[in-house]
A and B are shown apart, each in its own frame.
Chain A
Amino acid sequence: MVIQTHNLTKIYQFGRKGAFKALDNLNLSVKEGEIFGYLGPNGAGKTTTIRMMLDIIRPTSGRIEILGMDAQRDSVALHHHIGFMPGELNLWKNEKAINIIKYFGRVRGNLDMAYVKELAERLQFDMSKKFREYSSGNKRKLGLILALMHRPQLLILDEPTSGLDPLMQQTFNQLMREIREEGRTVFLSSHVLSEVQAICDRVGILRGGLLRAVENVEDLTHANFRWITIQYDGHIPDLSQVAGVSEVTKVNGTTVKFRFSGDFDPLLRTLTQADYIRHFKTQEPTLEEIFLAFYDDGQNVMNDNTKQEVAI
């Protein structure tokens, strides 16, 4: 295993304001050579987990092993093999990107400028500007270069694609696949299911500080559904009998909204009987909805009572 957490718990103390349990008995394993998606809504505990992996904050109890080393005790040795990109990249605003890259390279002791240039070209990133001059998308690109430039064995990326345009997201996905092909491991957090589906092998779902599930992405995809909204003129056939359709709601006299899963063919054949369809919109479910759909409202949830090691 590349990453193993053992009963990892983090409680933030706020003095007289009390305490907040951000992470509760997390037992998680990430295998070598996989892209692992760490999925959860904002505030679920994803960044807390990542910051503990990097020894930026310390666990209240439990421990983390990364590449066979203790994340806290062996942090310096470990950080030679880890590339990290935070959710929001903040660096020295008056420094040029090239100087920041060189600085990171010098601290790590292995600056390969040819590889840095190759990464910058692939990401279409101009390294000559000062950090404050970059857009949020370009800051993400710099973050990626800083994380990848030393060819780490493990990449830890917090919400890596937020701010990247679709074209760059494709480049990012390609880079991640290449890293996987080289046998290296990627641990990325996200709150966007589609982003995780595109590249991840397995997904861990976190909610309220508890690891609710670890699944193969295909399994999660099969549990997928979407919301469909149709605006029509005249007659609309009865959709409640169509396979995969549920929770049909008439929003007003001309709009119907329903939940849909499975193949589109029966639905489309039924809809051809409608008089006139003015507007057809599909919407991805929220992570919460997917979670509830997949786990029968949480009945199969892994919680701290089971204390089950989540390793597949």
Chain B
Amino acid sequence: MTGTIFVETLRRSWRQMIYWGLGFAIYAIYPFLMVPNEASLETLKDITDGFNPEFLAAFGIDSTSFSSVAGLVGYSFFGYLLLMISIFSVIAGLNISANEEDNGIMDMVLSLPVKRWQVIVEKLFAYIVMLIGILAIAFMGLMFGSSLSQIEVDITTTRFLEGIVNVIPGAVLVMCFTAFIGVLVRQRSLATAIAGSFVVISYLVDGIGRAANNDTADTIRQISIFAHYNGTKILETGLTWGTVIMLSVIAGVLAVGTIELFKRRDIAV
């Protein structure tokens, strides 16, 4: 019956969504508590001013990172949010097919009256809903954290929301990439290694590209999803819809590739 796999996936995983969400909510509160007052923010800025700008750029830090609460939250929360949520995305991507195939459960699932594409699509949507749920809880953490701040928070709710929405395309892309690799290689361990490497290498390419600060490095950097994420500056610049659409389209292509490949091939023993 259509929708049953979607509902069942959510039923089994809603607790995980809460735990992940709470983890990110606590992480969202942390930057607001890290700097108790304006003087502390100034001290932080003085410390970072002493470093080489190229070195700081590798970590996504620049002169504005610690000059305001927006800069601080942008760097310490949104700057790492995609990298951290990618852990969830890889786990979710593996759960779409690779885990059940590797465990021998897929034979039972496909003996039911379900289409192969239905298994992938319903699970993918369930995990996207979970991702949004996790980020919604994280958003509540941000709002709660900002209410606790001793420094005036000059960030609107809409900007916070844009920061959260900005993570979704990249996280879904990682999820779809992992699902695609899982369907391609049919082995959970190999799929985990490839997807994990993809995230880490993508992050390093972005960091090194920024630190190198030249045209060639900047061109190479564009292959990284983190280059298009703009987490550290999202609270200042807001959403770039072109980037959102581009990442979403790539994720969509990977999802279609996953479905088509899964429809055509044998299920591993």
Measured CB to CB, the residues of A under 8 A from B are 47, 51, 54-58, 76-80, 82, 84, 86, 88-92, 95, 103-104, 106-109, 146
Contacts and interface: CB of A to CB of B under 8 A. Distances in A.
A55 B112 CA distance: 11
Contact of B12 (A51, A54, A95): A95
Interface string B1-21: 100110010001000000000
B114 interface: yes
A109 B112 CA distance: 10
Contacts of B107: 51, 54, 56, 86, 90
14 contacts: A51-B267, A56-B106, A56-B107, A56-B111, A57-B266, A76-B114, A84-B108, A90-B103, A92-B12, A106-B4, A107-B1, A107-B5, A107-B114, A109-B1
A108 B12 CA distance: 19
A92 B5 CA distance: 14
Which 6 A-B pairs rank lowest in CB-CB distance, beginning with the nearest? A90-B104, A57-B266, A84-B111, A79-B113, A107-B112, A109-B1
A146 B113 contact: no
A54 B105 contact: no
Nearest to B112: A107
Contacts of B110: 54-56
Contacts of B4: 103, 106-107
B267 A57 contact: yes
Contacts of A47: 269
Given A86-B108, A103-B8, A56 B266 contact: yes
Contacts, number: 62
A76 B106 CA distance: 15
B108 A90 contact: yes
Contacts of B115: 76
B121 to A, nearest CB: 14
Nearest to B105: A90
A106 B267 contact: no
B6 to A, nearest CB: 11
A107 B122 CA distance: 12
B266 A146 contact: no
A89 B108 CA distance: 8
A107 B113 contact: yes
A79 B93 CA distance: 27
Interface residues of B, number: 20
A86 B111 CA distance: 10
A54 B103 contact: no
A79 B104 contact: no
A56 B106 CA distance: 9
Q: Counting chain A CB atoms within 10 Å of each CB, which of B4, B105, B112, B266 scores highest?
A: B112
Interface string B112-139: 1111000000000000000000000000
Contact of B111 (A58, A79, A90): A79
A82 B1 CA distance: 16
Contacts of A106: 1, 4, 8
A37 B112 CA distance: 23
Contacts of B108: 84, 86, 89-91, 146
A88 B113 contact: no
Contacts of A104: 112
A165 B216 CA distance: 70
Contacts of B114: 76, 79, 107
Q: Counting chain B CB atoms within 10 Å of each CB, which of A56, A82, A108 scores highest?
A: A56
A78 B115 CA distance: 11
A82 B111 contact: yes
Nearest to B113: A79
B113 A58 contact: no
A76 B105 contact: no
A88 B104 contact: yes
Q: Counting chain B CB atoms within 10 Å of each CB, which of A57, A86, A88, A107 scores highest?
A: A107
Nearest to A76: B113
B105 A77 contact: no
Contacts of A86: 104, 107-108
Given A51-B107, A56-B110, A56-B267, 20 more contacts: A54-B110, A55-B110, A56-B266, A57-B266, A78-B113, A79-B111, A80-B113, A82-B111, A84-B111, A86-B104, A86-B107, A90-B103, A90-B107, A90-B108, A104-B112, A107-B1, A107-B5, A108-B112, A108-B113, A146-B108
A95 B107 CA distance: 17
Contacts of A80: 113
Nearest to B268: A57
A95 B109 CA distance: 15
Contact of B105 (A51, A55, A92): A92
A129 B103 CA distance: 20
B266 A58 contact: yes
Contacts of B267: 51, 56-57
A79 to B, nearest CB: 4
A177 B111 CA distance: 23
B101 to A, nearest CB: 10
Nearest to A88: B104
